Protein backbone atom coordinates (compact mmCIF):
# COMPACT_ATOMS: atom_id res chain seq x y z
CA UNK A 1 0.00 0.00 0.00
CA UNK A 2 2.38 2.68 -1.17
CA UNK A 3 -0.14 5.46 -1.54
CA UNK A 4 -3.57 4.69 -0.21
CA UNK A 5 -5.31 8.08 0.06
CA UNK A 6 -6.74 8.05 -3.45
CA UNK A 7 -8.16 4.58 -2.94
CA UNK A 8 -10.00 5.77 0.17
CA UNK A 9 -11.09 8.91 -1.70
CA UNK A 10 -12.46 6.87 -4.59
CA UNK A 11 -14.34 4.59 -2.22
CA UNK A 12 -15.78 7.58 -0.34
CA UNK A 13 -16.91 9.20 -3.61
CA UNK A 14 -18.62 6.06 -4.86
CA UNK A 15 -20.15 5.52 -1.41
CA UNK A 16 -21.53 9.06 -1.49
CA UNK A 17 -22.86 8.44 -4.99
CA UNK A 18 -24.67 5.28 -3.87
CA UNK A 19 -26.28 6.85 -0.79
CA UNK A 20 -26.96 10.37 -2.10
CA UNK A 21 -27.74 9.06 -5.57
CA UNK A 22 -30.76 7.23 -4.25
CA UNK A 23 -31.92 9.64 -1.56
CA UNK A 24 -31.39 13.13 -3.01
CA UNK A 25 -34.35 14.45 -5.02
CA UNK A 26 -34.06 14.44 -8.81
CA UNK A 27 -35.93 16.38 -11.53
CA UNK A 28 -39.35 14.94 -12.28
CA UNK A 29 -39.30 13.87 -15.91
CA UNK A 30 -41.76 11.71 -17.75
CA UNK A 31 -40.66 8.30 -19.05
CA UNK A 32 -37.33 8.35 -17.20
CA UNK A 33 -38.99 8.92 -13.80
CA UNK A 34 -36.71 7.71 -11.01
CA UNK A 35 -34.51 5.89 -13.50
CA UNK A 36 -32.72 9.22 -14.07
CA UNK A 37 -30.68 8.12 -11.03
CA UNK A 38 -29.01 5.59 -13.32
CA UNK A 39 -26.99 8.56 -14.53
CA UNK A 40 -24.90 8.24 -11.35
CA UNK A 41 -24.07 4.62 -12.08
CA UNK A 42 -24.29 3.96 -15.83
CA UNK A 43 -22.44 7.02 -17.16
CA UNK A 44 -19.41 6.73 -14.79
CA UNK A 45 -18.76 3.25 -16.24
CA UNK A 46 -18.04 4.86 -19.63
CA UNK A 47 -15.98 7.66 -18.13
CA UNK A 48 -13.91 5.05 -16.31
CA UNK A 49 -13.50 3.04 -19.50
CA UNK A 50 -12.29 6.13 -21.37
CA UNK A 51 -9.85 6.99 -18.56
CA UNK A 52 -8.45 3.45 -18.48
CA UNK A 53 -8.12 3.25 -22.27
CA UNK A 54 -6.34 6.62 -22.24
CA UNK A 55 -3.90 5.19 -19.70
CA UNK A 56 -3.44 2.10 -21.85
CA UNK A 57 -2.70 4.27 -24.90
CA UNK A 58 -0.17 6.28 -22.87
CA UNK A 59 1.66 3.15 -21.73
CA UNK A 60 1.54 1.68 -25.24
CA UNK A 61 3.35 4.74 -26.57
CA UNK A 62 5.75 4.50 -23.63
CA UNK A 63 6.41 0.85 -24.44
CA UNK A 64 7.14 1.67 -28.09
CA UNK A 65 9.55 4.39 -27.01
CA UNK A 66 11.36 2.45 -24.28
CA UNK A 67 10.86 -1.18 -25.32
CA UNK A 68 10.36 -1.96 -21.62
CA UNK A 69 8.05 -4.98 -21.25
CA UNK A 70 6.82 -3.60 -17.92
CA UNK A 71 5.05 -0.78 -19.79
CA UNK A 72 3.40 -3.44 -21.91
CA UNK A 73 2.07 -5.07 -18.72
CA UNK A 74 0.60 -1.69 -17.72
CA UNK A 75 -1.06 -1.24 -21.12
CA UNK A 76 -2.55 -4.76 -21.13
CA UNK A 77 -4.02 -4.63 -17.66
CA UNK A 78 -5.39 -1.10 -18.12
CA UNK A 79 -7.07 -2.29 -21.33
CA UNK A 80 -8.47 -5.40 -19.63
CA UNK A 81 -9.96 -3.35 -16.80
CA UNK A 82 -11.31 -0.89 -19.39
CA UNK A 83 -13.00 -3.78 -21.20
CA UNK A 84 -14.57 -4.88 -17.91
CA UNK A 85 -16.00 -1.41 -17.38
CA UNK A 86 -17.21 -1.21 -20.99
CA UNK A 87 -19.13 -4.48 -20.50
CA UNK A 88 -20.64 -3.13 -17.28
CA UNK A 89 -21.56 0.11 -19.06
CA UNK A 90 -23.13 -1.74 -21.97
CA UNK A 91 -25.19 -4.06 -19.73
CA UNK A 92 -26.41 -1.24 -17.46
CA UNK A 93 -27.24 0.83 -20.54
CA UNK A 94 -29.27 -1.99 -22.03
CA UNK A 95 -31.15 -2.48 -18.76
CA UNK A 96 -31.94 1.22 -18.64
CA UNK A 97 -32.94 1.29 -22.33
CA UNK A 98 -35.34 -1.63 -21.86
CA UNK A 99 -37.53 0.50 -19.59
CA UNK A 100 -37.10 3.95 -21.11
CA UNK A 101 -36.61 3.42 -24.85
CA UNK A 102 -38.79 0.31 -24.94
CA UNK A 103 -36.17 -2.20 -25.94
CA UNK A 104 -32.70 -3.14 -24.75
CA UNK A 105 -31.17 -2.84 -28.22
CA UNK A 106 -32.70 -0.26 -30.53
CA UNK A 107 -29.74 0.19 -32.90
CA UNK A 108 -29.18 3.64 -31.45
CA UNK A 109 -26.09 5.20 -33.09
CA UNK A 110 -24.26 5.45 -29.78
CA UNK A 111 -25.06 1.84 -28.93
CA UNK A 112 -23.74 0.74 -32.32
CA UNK A 113 -20.56 2.80 -32.21
CA UNK A 114 -19.71 1.80 -28.65
CA UNK A 115 -20.33 -1.84 -29.57
CA UNK A 116 -17.87 -1.34 -32.45
CA UNK A 117 -15.38 0.22 -30.07
CA UNK A 118 -15.73 -2.74 -27.71
CA UNK A 119 -15.17 -5.18 -30.57
CA UNK A 120 -11.99 -3.32 -31.53
CA UNK A 121 -10.70 -3.75 -27.98
CA UNK A 122 -11.79 -7.41 -27.83
CA UNK A 123 -9.70 -7.93 -30.95
CA UNK A 124 -6.75 -6.51 -29.01
CA UNK A 125 -6.93 -9.40 -26.53
CA UNK A 126 -7.29 -11.91 -29.35
CA UNK A 127 -4.33 -10.38 -31.19
CA UNK A 128 -2.17 -10.72 -28.09
CA UNK A 129 -3.25 -14.30 -27.60
CA UNK A 130 -2.02 -15.16 -31.07
CA UNK A 131 1.60 -14.02 -30.68
CA UNK A 132 4.04 -16.17 -28.71
CA UNK A 133 7.12 -13.94 -28.70
CA UNK A 134 7.04 -11.37 -25.85
CA UNK A 135 8.87 -8.57 -27.65
CA UNK A 136 6.92 -8.94 -30.87
CA UNK A 137 3.63 -9.20 -28.96
CA UNK A 138 4.46 -6.03 -27.04
CA UNK A 139 5.32 -4.05 -30.16
CA UNK A 140 2.41 -5.19 -32.34
CA UNK A 141 -0.22 -4.92 -29.63
CA UNK A 142 1.06 -1.47 -28.60
CA UNK A 143 0.67 -0.19 -32.14
CA UNK A 144 -2.80 -1.77 -32.31
CA UNK A 145 -3.75 -0.22 -28.96
CA UNK A 146 -2.82 3.27 -30.16
CA UNK A 147 -4.92 2.80 -33.31
CA UNK A 148 -7.80 1.41 -31.23
CA UNK A 149 -7.70 4.51 -29.04
CA UNK A 150 -7.59 6.74 -32.11
CA UNK A 151 -10.69 4.92 -33.41
CA UNK A 152 -12.50 5.20 -30.06
CA UNK A 153 -12.54 9.02 -30.14
CA UNK A 154 -14.57 9.44 -33.36
CA UNK A 155 -16.70 6.38 -32.53
CA UNK A 156 -17.77 7.61 -29.11
CA UNK A 157 -17.45 11.39 -29.25
CA UNK A 158 -17.96 12.44 -32.87
CA UNK A 159 -20.23 10.12 -34.87
CA UNK A 160 -23.07 9.88 -32.28
CA UNK A 161 -23.24 13.68 -32.19
CA UNK A 162 -23.62 13.99 -35.96
CA UNK A 163 -26.72 11.82 -36.26
CA UNK A 164 -30.04 11.58 -34.45
CA UNK A 165 -29.74 9.51 -31.34
CA UNK A 166 -31.84 8.54 -28.36
CA UNK A 167 -28.97 9.42 -26.06
CA UNK A 168 -29.02 12.92 -24.61
CA UNK A 169 -26.33 15.20 -25.98
CA UNK A 170 -26.60 13.77 -29.49
CA UNK A 171 -28.37 14.89 -32.63
CA UNK A 172 -28.71 18.41 -31.32
CA UNK A 173 -30.10 17.44 -27.92
CA UNK A 174 -28.50 19.18 -25.00
CA UNK A 175 -26.39 17.26 -22.53
CA UNK A 176 -24.99 18.53 -19.29
CA UNK A 177 -27.54 21.32 -19.50
CA UNK A 178 -30.25 22.10 -17.01
CA UNK A 179 -32.74 19.81 -18.73
CA UNK A 180 -30.53 16.77 -18.32
CA UNK A 181 -28.52 17.64 -15.29
CA UNK A 182 -29.59 20.15 -12.66
CA UNK A 183 -27.22 21.48 -10.04
CA UNK A 184 -28.08 18.99 -7.29
CA UNK A 185 -27.51 16.16 -9.74
CA UNK A 186 -24.11 17.58 -10.60
CA UNK A 187 -23.21 17.43 -6.89
CA UNK A 188 -23.63 13.66 -7.00
CA UNK A 189 -22.64 13.01 -10.61
CA UNK A 190 -19.13 14.50 -10.57
CA UNK A 191 -18.02 12.70 -7.36
CA UNK A 192 -19.49 9.51 -8.84
CA UNK A 193 -17.40 9.89 -12.01
CA UNK A 194 -14.23 10.72 -10.06
CA UNK A 195 -14.88 7.90 -7.61
CA UNK A 196 -15.40 5.26 -10.27
CA UNK A 197 -12.33 6.40 -12.21
CA UNK A 198 -10.23 6.08 -9.03
CA UNK A 199 -11.77 2.69 -8.23
CA UNK A 200 -11.17 1.44 -11.78
CA UNK A 201 -7.57 2.61 -11.57
CA UNK A 202 -7.20 0.79 -8.25
CA UNK A 203 -8.47 -2.48 -9.74
CA UNK A 204 -6.15 -2.03 -12.74
CA UNK A 205 -3.12 -1.35 -10.49
CA UNK A 206 -3.84 -4.52 -8.49
CA UNK A 207 -3.74 -6.56 -11.71
CA UNK A 208 -0.64 -4.70 -12.92
CA UNK A 209 1.23 -5.34 -9.66
CA UNK A 210 0.30 -9.01 -9.70
CA UNK A 211 1.53 -9.33 -13.28
CA UNK A 212 4.74 -7.48 -12.42
CA UNK A 213 5.45 -9.90 -9.55
CA UNK A 214 5.07 -12.73 -12.06
CA UNK A 215 7.19 -10.85 -14.59
CA UNK A 216 10.03 -10.26 -12.10
CA UNK A 217 9.93 -13.89 -10.99
CA UNK A 218 10.17 -15.12 -14.59
CA UNK A 219 13.06 -12.79 -15.31
CA UNK A 220 14.90 -13.84 -12.15
CA UNK A 221 14.54 -17.45 -13.20
CA UNK A 222 15.95 -16.68 -16.65
CA UNK A 223 18.81 -14.74 -15.09
CA UNK A 224 19.81 -17.47 -12.65
CA UNK A 225 19.69 -20.43 -15.01
CA UNK B 1 -60.67 39.05 -29.00
CA UNK B 2 -58.06 36.79 -30.61
CA UNK B 3 -55.46 37.89 -28.10
CA UNK B 4 -57.79 36.97 -25.23
CA UNK B 5 -58.53 33.60 -26.76
CA UNK B 6 -54.84 32.97 -27.26
CA UNK B 7 -54.16 33.88 -23.65
CA UNK B 8 -56.89 31.54 -22.45
CA UNK B 9 -55.57 28.67 -24.54
CA UNK B 10 -52.09 29.32 -23.26
CA UNK B 11 -53.34 29.32 -19.67
CA UNK B 12 -55.16 26.02 -20.16
CA UNK B 13 -52.12 24.49 -21.83
CA UNK B 14 -49.84 25.64 -19.04
CA UNK B 15 -52.09 24.32 -16.28
CA UNK B 16 -52.57 20.96 -17.97
CA UNK B 17 -48.87 20.50 -18.51
CA UNK B 18 -48.15 21.41 -14.91
CA UNK B 19 -50.84 18.96 -13.80
CA UNK B 20 -49.24 16.27 -15.91
CA UNK B 21 -45.96 16.94 -14.18
CA UNK B 22 -47.59 16.71 -10.78
CA UNK B 23 -48.91 13.26 -11.65
CA UNK B 24 -45.53 11.95 -12.75
CA UNK B 25 -44.94 8.74 -10.86
CA UNK B 26 -42.07 8.90 -8.40
CA UNK B 27 -40.98 6.77 -5.49
CA UNK B 28 -42.63 8.98 -2.90
CA UNK B 29 -44.77 6.23 -1.40
CA UNK B 30 -41.81 3.94 -1.13
CA UNK B 31 -39.89 6.62 0.67
CA UNK B 32 -42.77 7.51 2.99
CA UNK B 33 -42.76 3.89 4.06
CA UNK B 34 -39.10 4.36 4.80
CA UNK B 35 -38.22 1.17 2.94
CA UNK B 36 -35.93 2.91 0.48
CA UNK B 37 -33.35 3.18 3.25
CA UNK B 38 -33.24 -0.60 3.33
CA UNK B 39 -32.12 -0.58 -0.29
CA UNK B 40 -29.52 2.07 0.47
CA UNK B 41 -28.25 -0.01 3.37
CA UNK B 42 -28.03 -3.13 1.18
CA UNK B 43 -26.14 -1.28 -1.56
CA UNK B 44 -23.81 0.32 0.99
CA UNK B 45 -23.13 -3.11 2.51
CA UNK B 46 -22.34 -4.66 -0.86
CA UNK B 47 -20.04 -1.78 -1.73
CA UNK B 48 -18.34 -1.94 1.68
CA UNK B 49 -17.76 -5.63 1.06
CA UNK B 50 -16.18 -4.94 -2.32
CA UNK B 51 -13.99 -2.26 -0.74
CA UNK B 52 -12.77 -4.59 2.02
CA UNK B 53 -12.12 -7.30 -0.58
CA UNK B 54 -10.04 -4.94 -2.73
CA UNK B 55 -8.20 -3.70 0.38
CA UNK B 56 -7.27 -7.25 1.41
CA UNK B 57 -6.18 -8.08 -2.13
CA UNK B 58 -4.04 -4.94 -2.14
CA UNK B 59 -2.34 -5.89 1.13
CA UNK B 60 -1.77 -9.43 -0.07
CA UNK B 61 -0.11 -8.19 -3.26
CA UNK B 62 2.01 -5.75 -1.22
CA UNK B 63 3.20 -8.69 0.90
CA UNK B 64 3.92 -10.69 -2.25
CA UNK B 65 5.91 -7.80 -3.68
CA UNK B 66 8.01 -7.58 -0.50
CA UNK B 67 8.80 -11.29 -0.37
CA UNK B 68 9.79 -11.28 -4.04
CA UNK B 69 12.28 -8.47 -3.68
From A17-21, A133-137, B16-20, B56-60, the region with the lowest mean pLDDT: B16-20
Taking only residues 73 to 132 of chain A, the set having a beta carbon closer than 8 angstroms to any beta carbon of chain B reads: none
- Residue B57 to residue A206, Cβ atoms within 8 A: yes
Angstrom distance (rounded) from CA A19 to CA B37: 9
Q: Which of B36, B51, B62 sits opposite A1 (nearest CB)?
A: B62
Per-residue pLDDT of chain A (225 residues; tens, 9 = 90+): 568 899 999 999 999 999 998 888 888 777 878 888 888 999 999 999 999 999 999 999 999 999 999 999 999 999 999 999 999 999 999 999 998 888 889 898 889 999 999 999 999 999 999 999 999 999 999 999 999 999 999 998 888 878 877 787 655 444 555 455 677 888 899 999 999 999 999 999 999 999 999 998 888 766 654
pLDDT tens string B25-41 = 666 655 555 677 778 88
Tell which of B55, B56, B62 to mutate to test the A interface (max A CBs under 10 Å). Answer: B55
**Domains of chain B by residue range:** 2-67
Q: What is the ipTM of this complex?
A: 0.74
Angstrom distance (rounded) from CA A148 to CA A146: 5
Query: Following DSSP, what letter does each residue of A7-23 receive, concatenated?
Result: HHHHHHHHHHHHHHHHH
SS3 (DSSP) at B49:
helix
pLDDT above 70 for B24: no
> What's the residue count for chain B?
69
- Residue A22 to residue B20, Cβ atoms within 8 A: no
Query: Following DSSP, what letter does each residue of A88-155 receive, concatenated?
Result: HHHHHHHHHHHHHTSSS----HHHHHHHHHHHHHHHHHHHHHT---HHHHHHHHHHHHHHHHHHHHII
pLDDT tens string B40-54 = 888 888 899 999 999
Residue A71's H or E segment, with its range, is helix A69-100
Q: Within an 8 Å CB–CB cutoff, is residue A213 touching chain B? A: yes
Q: What is each CA distance from B30 to A224, B19, B25, B37, B43, in whole angstroms?
A: 66, 22, 11, 10, 17
Residue B38's H or E segment, with its range, is helix B36-67
Angstrom distance (rounded) from CA A129 to CA A38: 36
Angstrom distance (rounded) from CA A121 to CA A79: 8
CB pairs under 8 A between A and B: 57
pLDDT tens string A132-153 = 999 999 999 999 999 999 999 9
Angstrom distance (rounded) from CA A35 to CA B44: 19
Q: Determine the pLDDT at residue A2.
A: 63
Q: Which of B21, B43, B62 sits opposite A28 (nearest CB)?
A: B21
Angstrom distance (rounded) from CA A111 to CA A12: 31
- Residue B61 to residue A216, Cβ atoms within 8 A: no
pLDDT tens string A153-184 = 999 888 887 887 778 765 544 455 545 567 78
- Residue B54 to residue A216, Cβ atoms within 8 A: no
CB-based burial label for A174 (10 Å; 0-12, 13-18, 19+): exposed
Q: Which residues of B touch A217 (CB under 8 A)?
A: 68
Tell which of B21, B51, B62 to mutate to test the A interface (max A CBs under 10 Å). Answer: B51
Tell which of A13, A28, A29 to mutate to test the B interface (max B CBs under 10 Å). Answer: A28
CB-based burial label for A116 (10 Å; 0-12, 13-18, 19+): middle
Q: Determine the pLDDT at residue A174.
A: 47
Taking only residues 14 to 43 of chain A, the set having a beta carbon closer than 8 angstroms to any beta carbon of chain B reads: 14-15, 18-19, 22-23, 28-30, 33-34
Angle between helices A134-153 and A109-129 (to 10 degrees): 170
The residues, ordered by sequence, that sit 6+ positions from A73 with a Cβ below 8 Å of its Cβ are A208, A211, A212, A215
Amino acid sequence: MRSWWWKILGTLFVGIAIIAGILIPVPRLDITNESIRNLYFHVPMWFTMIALFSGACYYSIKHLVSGDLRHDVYAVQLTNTGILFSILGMLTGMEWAQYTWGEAWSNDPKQLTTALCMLIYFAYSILRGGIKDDEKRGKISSVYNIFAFAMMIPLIFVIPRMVDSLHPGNGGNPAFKKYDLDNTMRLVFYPAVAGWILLGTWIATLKIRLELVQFNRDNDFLFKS
Amino acid sequence: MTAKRLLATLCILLTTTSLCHAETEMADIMRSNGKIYVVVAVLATIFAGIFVYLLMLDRKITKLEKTNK
